[in-house]
Amino acid sequence: MAMVTFVDETTSGSRGDGPVLDLPEERLALRELIRRRVFQEVAEFHARRPEVFRGLVRPEGAEAVLNGWALRGPRSVDPEKQTALALRAFARNGFLVLVGDRQITGLDEEIDLRADTEVTFLTLVPLVGG
């Protein structure tokens, strides 16, 4: 069994912890790892119902706030839609995925999972005027 720790970073230097998942597989495609991360984030949001959604990507109709996204009124977040948004963001280079010192470049690329795997999601901040 692998315990995967997700770390969220930005190119501006901020770093925050994402969810931790226990996975029975020893290898998993990036696409599936992203899907499981997003489903975990949504499940935690629905269980706690905080005012701010903290996740890999912004839910539709949410407003950016410090450390997450504010939803308009109490509502649920669709994990399938969030997964689709995350996969599109990866395809558009909205974020990079690093496992150890290796960048994962394709959604179907397999990742070796060990007991203490750390997966970094590096969000790329657009340049002003660029």
* In this structure, CATH architecture of domain 2-123: Beta Complex (2.170)
Each residue's pLDDT tens digit, 18-44:
788 899 999 999 999 999 999 999 999
Each residue's pLDDT tens digit, 45-100:
999 888 889 889 989 888 988 888 898 877 889 999 999 999 999 999 999 999 98
Distance between CA atoms of residues 68 and 9, nearest Å:
13
Distance between CA atoms of residues 22 and 26, nearest Å:
11
